Structure 1
Amino acid sequence: MRPKIQLPRRGLRTAVWSLVTALVATAGLVGVVLWQHSYAMDEQRVSIRHGGHTLNGVLTTPKDGRKRHGLVVYVHGDGPVDATHDDGYRPLWEANAKAGYASLSWDKPGVAGAPGNWLDQSMDDRADETAAAIAWARARPDIDGDRIGLWGSSQAGWVLPKVAARTSVSFVIAVSPAIDWLRQGRYNLLAELRADGATASRISAAIAKSDTTRRLLESHATFEEYVKATSGDLDGMTADRWGFISRNHTANATQDLHALRGVPVLLALAGHDLNVDTAETERVYREVLDAGGALTAEHYPDATHSLLKQSIEQSDLKVTLTAFFSPRSLFADGFLDGQRQFLKELDRGGSATR
């Protein structure tokens, strides 16, 4: 008869405790992730009718027991953005909730099953859409119609003042907004080439192609003409994208910004912005809005265009891990608190400019 094989009692204890430790560590990590993705606000899906179709939105409200709240209406930047911006807005919404404000956002047309195509829109179309959302919000009993403002990033810089010209807003938070479409495009092109360490010949070739594109836009060229002029070197350009650029390439926010005179504006600018010339943006905002005494400009030296920490955004792995384990830490130091303080100051009647 074969002898029974037995683990040493000490070895068995070690194996059991190793398993227990692994299980506890796993449970701890799950707990951390769940806690980090639990936000101090209530969230609900909403539907907004506009132009014969439905905007699929998300409305978040503070958990403070109040029946009515002010509202921050979100205006997306470029690209196919859904209502939560792939969950990236939630830390911002939570900061708003801590200041006593609700937040409203919606899927762009054609995104996440929404009807339409966002590439068919002009900046005026986007402003009309936002004004309709504000009208919808004002009709709700849980929203204070006298405390509704806008939050917008990047491309939204051409939309925000157009909205203010259509309907009254109580404040604006403008994050990395550009002034002139074509100048912004050229700035972005050169900034990215320099960041890549491009050679002089590569830069010259890129500028030549950019100049060709500008001439085609000025002559109202078709997409087929663009394809022919660039010898098929489309660099991601599609017919829909060409149509979008053709409709919007003359956008310049300078004159539209006059609609924001006297409106409290928080201008958030990044120190490592490869997309927008922040010096031009701040100069124009100050020239147009400072006379009204309601502009606050905040600078985040270590931030990128998206107001994420540069040390994180430069690594896809860091972005993924931080978004998973500590999403609030994605943003530049002080960015979330700065918006919360801005909103609280509004309710206190403050209007100090910086």
Structure 2
Amino acid sequence: MHPKIQPLRRRLSIALWSLVTALSVAAGLASVVLWQHSYAMDEQRVSIRHGGHTLNGVLTIPKDGRKRHGLVVYVHGDGPVNATHDDGYKPQWEANAKAGYASLSWDKPGVEGAPGNWLDQSMDDRAEETTAAIAWARARPDIDGDRIGLWGASQAGWVLPKVAAKTPVSFVIAVSPAINWLRQGRYNLLAELRADGASASRTSAVIAKSDSTRRLLERHATFEEYVKAMRGDLDGMTADRWRFISKNYTADATRDLRALRGIPVLLALAGHDINVDTADTERIYRAVLDTGGALTAKRYPDATHSFLKQSIEQSDLKVTLTALFSPRSLFADGFLEDQRRFLKDLGRGSSATP
């Protein structure tokens, strides 16, 4: 045998087995991803007519063999959010399904090809949209119209009580909801400056710019006037966004919250929230709702505003890998389970305390 043949065969053999091993590992990882993204519920696309437009929605139904289910209607926070929140809602929908509840959500106007523009909406517009979705759900034979409630996060804090004032809801899950637009904006601004370690001079300059923006809003300034006043330093502001803020900057949920009196409310508050002053939120929710005895406030020390674990959200790589291989682990400890138990307890006629 030629002396070079045996080493060559050895190298080919090593390369072949390395390839087989790599393919096996890849197949194994793919199987894990598929398994982790298989949720215990049936999912279907639905269309909801509202105001001459169509809401492109997703309805998930528990796989428990029952003909009718209660329903959790999802109200998004700020931003161009699609029906599944890029699949981020699915672990929550699964928790709802385990409690015997269906879930309903839809693309915001202008998102994923949906008609309209979500930046054209006021909080009242969003409440009307949600009310229409509830009416659509009540007409379905597979939904129990007496067990329809709301889930909403952040900006949805201004929408949830408006919906409850328009149509009966049997419960509310409020996730770090905002109370007052201007107070929330200032809290977020200062929290981000502190997180960035901003100097005193930079902090003063940013606050001055914020105060100038408020004055422009109060006198109903146009976007062109805003651009001129900011001398081109728009910090991402667009004409659509300016119009949206102009419509909604006076939002305050305090008085509207009275519509939730007597309704079981789970108030979920994040321990690392730089967007919403959760202490202010809890204080006002307790002041308005505690008299009815139906409020349960729950704090999650390791949660950020998005209710991801802070240790994960701090790293884009950790977020990506966790979302791929263990999406349920993204959320703060206890958050999904508390939501499931809250819904389950409603069916038992309990106080719905997690």
* TM-score normalised over the length of structure 1: 0.97
Q: 2:161 matched to 1:180?
A: no
Give per-residue Cα distances to partners, 1:268-287, cap 9 Å, x unaligned: 00000000000000000000
Change (3 A) 1:14 1:169: same
Q: Count how many residue pairs are aligned between Structure 1 and Structure 2.
A: 354
Match of 1:197 in 2: 197
Summarize the alignment of residues 116-135 of structure 1 with structure 2, pairs less than 5 Å apart: 116-135=116-135
SS in 2 for 1:173: strand
SS of 2:206's partner is helix
The residue that corresponds to 2:31 in the other structure is 31
Q: Whole-Å Cα distance in 2 between the matches of residues 242 and 11 of structure 1?
A: 65
1:216-269 Cα offsets, whole Å, 9 max, x none, are 111111111111111111000011100000000000000000000000000000
Q: For residues 7-64 of structure 1, what are the alpha-carbon distances to aligned partners after superposition, in whole Å with 9 as ceiling and x for unaligned? A: 4776665544433322221111010000011111000000000000100000000001
Contact 2:182 / 2:250 at 8 angstroms: preserved in 1?
Answer: yes
Match of 2:64 in 1: 64
Q: What residue in structure 2 maps to residue 258 of structure 1?
A: 258
List per-residue Cα deviations over 1:282-320 (Å, max 9, x = no partner): 000000000000001110001100110000111111111
Which amino acid is the alignment partner of residue 137 of structure 1?
A: A
Deviates more, 1:315-324 or 1:242-251: 315-324
Read off the aligned partner of 2:131 and give its amino acid letter. Answer: A
Q: Which residue of 1 aligns with 2:154?
A: 154
Aligned to 1:96: 96
Q: Which AA in structure 2 matches 1:308?
A: L
Q: Distance in 1 between matches of 2:260 and 2:353?
A: 15
Output one character per residue of 1:89-135: Cα deviation in whole Å (capped at 9) or x when no partner.
Answer: 01110110111100000000000000000000000000000000000
Match of 1:75?
75
Report the Cα distance in structure 1 between the residues aligned to 2:82 and 2:242, rounded to whole angstroms. Answer: 22
1:16 and 1:155, CA in 2 relative to 1: closer, same or farther beyond 3 A?
same
Within 5 Å, which residues of 2 pair with 1:280-299? Answer: 280-299=280-299
Alpha-carbon RMSD across the aligned residues, in angstroms, is: 1.6
Query: What do the CA deviations read for 1:133-154 (whole angstroms, capped 9, x no partner)?
Result: 0000000000000000000000
Q: Which runs of 5+ in 2 are unaligned?
A: none
1:198 partner amino acid: A
Q: Is the 8 A contact 2:109 2:117 kept in 1?
A: yes
| Mapping 1:1-354, distance limit 5 Å | 5-7=5-7, 14-351=14-351
Shift of 1:353: 5.3
Structure 1 Cα separation of the partners of residues 2 and 173 of structure 2: 79
How far apart, in 2, do the equivalents of 1:85 and 1:14 lie?
45
Alpha-carbon distance between aligned partners in 2 of 1:45 and 1:311, rounded to the nearest angstrom: 34
Percent identical:
85
Amino acid in structure 2 at the alignment position of 1:311? S
Q: Which amino acid aligns with 1:265?
A: V
Structure-2-length-normalised TM-score: 0.97
Q: Distance in 2 between matches of 1:227 and 1:10?
A: 70
2:330 & 2:353 partners in 1: Cα distance? 27
Distance 2:233 2:3 in 1: 76
| Partners of 1:246 and 1:279 in 2: CA distance | 26
Give the aligned residue type for 2:296. Answer: T
Other structure's SS at 2:350 match: coil
Look up the equivalent residue of 1:44 and give its one-letter code. Q
- 1:55 touches 1:109 (CA, 8 Å); kept in 2? yes
Aligned residues of 1:91 and 1:327 also touching (Cα < 8 A):
yes
**Which is worse superposed, 227-236 or 18-27?**
18-27
Counterpart CA distance in 2 for 1:348 and 1:332 is 26
Match for 2:202: what amino acid? R
Q: Aligned with 1:253: secondary structure?
A: coil
SS, match of residue 109 in structure 1: coil
- Measured at CA, do residues 236 and 10 of structure 1 come closer, stay the same or move farther in structure 2, by a change above 3 Å? closer
Amino acid at match of 1:143: I
Report the Cα distance in structure 2 between the residues aligned to 1:102 and 1:84, rounded to whole angstroms.
Answer: 14
Kept in 2, the 8 Å contact 1:293–1:353? The answer is no
Contact 2:264 2:352 survives alignment (8 Å):
no
Conservation of the 8 A alpha-carbon contact between 2:345 and 2:353 = no
Q: Which runs of 5+ in 1 are unaligned?
A: none
Q: Distance in 1 between matches of 2:75 and 2:310?
A: 23
